[in-house]
Amino acid sequence: MTPTQDRPALDRLLSPRSIAMVGASNSPARIGGTVFGNLLRNFPGEVYPVHPKDEVVQGRAAYRSVRDLPEAVDMAVIAVPAPAVVDVVAECAARGVGGATVITSGFAEAGPEGRALQDRLTAVARETGIRVVGPNCIGYMNTHGGVMANFMLTPDQPMPEAGPVALVSQSGGFGSYITNKAVLAGLRLGWFVSTGNEADVNVAAVLRHLVERPEVGVLLSFVETLRDPEVFVDTARRAAELDKPLVLLKAGRSEEAARAAMSHTASIVGSAQVLDAVCRQYGVYIASTMEELLDLGTIFQDGRRAGGDRVIVMTSSGGAGVLLADEAGQAGLAVPELPQDEQAALAADMPVPFYGSTANPVDTTAQTTAMPDAYRKVLDAVAASPSADMLAAVTWAGPGPANDAIVEMYRTTTKPVAILSTAWSPQFQQAGVPTFTDPRRAMVALAALAGQSARGPLPPDPAAFTADAGRVRRARELIAEAGRETTLLESTGKRILAMYGVPVTREELVTGEDAAVEAAERIGGPVAIKVMSYQLPHKSDAGAIRLGLRGPDAVRAGYREMLAEVARREPGAVAEGVLVQQMAPARLELTCGVQRDPVFGPMVAIGLGGVLVEVLSEAVLLRPPFDVDTALAALGDLLGGRLITGRRGLSEEEQRAAAQVMTGLGALALELDEVAEVDVNPLRVADGVVLAADALIVVNHD
């Protein structure tokens, strides 16, 4: 085995020291000609063309097959007809090639026959260990390693400037579009990887690999289907740990296809909401548009961080300054009025008479802009202000003293800077000055940077969760009592919830009228009574519930009337008993539950309870495991924060109790994978206490 084969397979695939191309061509009109020409541009190692007939390809001696290569290369680019691809990849694996980049299309995207071909390709990768990017991709670019294994650029087009930004895209065509626009916007792309159909290597795997690369400082990604959620979450935690922003643009965000409708919880959790929630939880930025993806790359690529959320706006146009200040406020940034001493110092550098403003926005007016020395002094003073964590300035594109001053200011300050310009400026791009052409986009980008700068501790590592074996055993014994029933009795569900620290109402399961009266006396105060039947998951629909019963006579009468009504309305229902339950007071009601997302698995949701859960359709979601602090922060996001800041919102004690419910349900979902769904509605909140008054647990027996 040669030294190069000792390297990890993904290193060999994405940072090769030697390359072969199967399907290399002399024709620049063919993909094989374009890709091979790109490979020859800057790659410092050996590049071998493989061609069945031509002896020389673009000046390089060609080999008839991979078997004939003089060494086991790190990476092979494959651009041959689809039916031949699997055999070529198998041949590469047998020759000791580390990885293959399969450009060829005609696989899963082309119908059943192509799907079968792709399955064979996946099988070869798994059986042999060779790593495969593609098929149906445009390849990748690693400018730091001189690798242009793609056809998004032709060999005569300039190479992007190597920099800290990495872009990973499932889509080759749209990824190429984003890449070209990113270069125009001034992003310094060190990496671009298109993963195509992802027969083997997917977006999550590439991101996980790149986050460890020292030259990568920002990760941008466009995905259609997010595979390997555990790898994605691990990458997000690692990116946060290394302070490397990760930004995701997701296509196919429709909620309807993934919406489950059985419970209140499921009715407000859609796939797009789940993705957004997981990204928020683990510090991934969700870009709503391609422009936002590029904007965040622009503001993050210089690696600067802000000491706070205060921004000074400097402009020669009063209207532009007001608009920037408005957008800053909308984005959550502060635009503080400068102290009088700072204003006086700025005014001293302004021309006389001066008709602008020194307050913030700092309006220099066009008069000052036309005086280079005065403009430079004001700009430098604003950037140095102790009242600012960030700076935004307005300018016109094109050469001139004002833009020269902006470049010099940017080079001398360590604060984040966003320049609003009438167009992208080559001068700013060469200097790395973050430039935006819209006020909102500039301020949204600065707000994201402020958020990145103020990040707290990492969320818990999912791999560190340890199940409580004794609790799992006891819970499964209760589940087993239901036999093959898929919906547990409320009484059983609450006993399970109590094991996970969820506070439940005082209650007793009885089987007779006298026992109900005795139970009500032990519980004290008004009680509710409910028929427990596997045939009645929704008790109110069958009249199987009575509320607010006080005293023996009321309990007896309610008991008889309830059973009679159930017998009349649901004659097939078998009563397993009657639950006598404390009537818990409530200043407000919450709902909390679990749904299993097809991609990310269990998700805990909490929102307003009772009928409001369907009226408002608002909840916050967390992926377990998470701690109480994470749950508390999520509660603070409900209703724009009004749930905890409003006059009748949750007290600190109630917030912590609700957070404990959330963490308990998270542990339940992780330990009991047969539990498909949990719906605790309502959670009644009053006087510092949160109690589960009803609970629905659905299980799978497969």
> How far is 236 from 245, CA to CA, in rounded Å?
9
* Distance (Å) of CA 641 to CA 264, 385, 645: 22, 32, 6
Asked if residue 256 has pLDDT above 80, the reply is no
**What is the pLDDT confidence band of residue 8, given thresholds at 50, 70 and 90?**
very high
> How far is 679 from 517, CA to CA, in rounded Å?
29
SS3 per-residue string spanning 345-375:
HHHHHCCCCCCCECCCCEECHHHHHCCHHHH
pLDDT given at position 544: 96
pLDDT given at position 484: 94
The sign of the CA dihedral 61, 65, 71, 77 is positive
| pLDDT tens-digit series, residues 321-361 | 999 999 999 999 999 999 999 999 999 988 766 778 999 99
List of residues 6+ apart from 518 with CB closer than 8 A: 510
User: CA angle 535-683-586, nearest 5°?
Assistant: 120
Give the residue from 416, 415, 434, 411 showing the smallest Cα distance to 424.
434
Mean pLDDT for the chain? 91
Please count the other Cβ atoms lying within 10 Å of the Cβ belonging to residue 319: 10
Strand-pair partners of 46: 18
**What is the pLDDT confidence band of residue 525, given thresholds at 50, 70 and 90?**
very high
559 — phi, psi (to 5°)?
A: -60, -50
Neighbour-count burial of 413, counting CB atoms closer than 10 A to its CB (0-12 exposed, 13-18 middle, 19+ buried): middle
Residue 60, SS3 per DSSP = strand
Count Cβ neighbours within 10 Å for each residue of 7-35 and write b for 16 or more, e otherwise.
eebbbbbbbbbbbbbbbbbbeeeebbbbb
H-run or E-run covering 115: helix 112-128
* Distance (Å) of CA 534 to CA 119, 485, 571: 44, 7, 13
Residues 564-580, mean pLDDT to the nearest whole number:
96
Q: How far is CA 52 from the centre of its chain?
A: 46
Asked if residue 510 has pLDDT above 50, the reply is yes
Asked if residue 257 has pLDDT above 60, the reply is no
Q: Which two tokens stand for residue 282?
A: 């683990």
Q: Which two tokens stand for residue 557?
A: 């009468």
**What is the pLDDT confidence band of residue 543, given thresholds at 50, 70 and 90?**
very high
Strand-pair partners of 194: 169
| pLDDT tens-digit series, residues 9-18 | 999 999 999 9
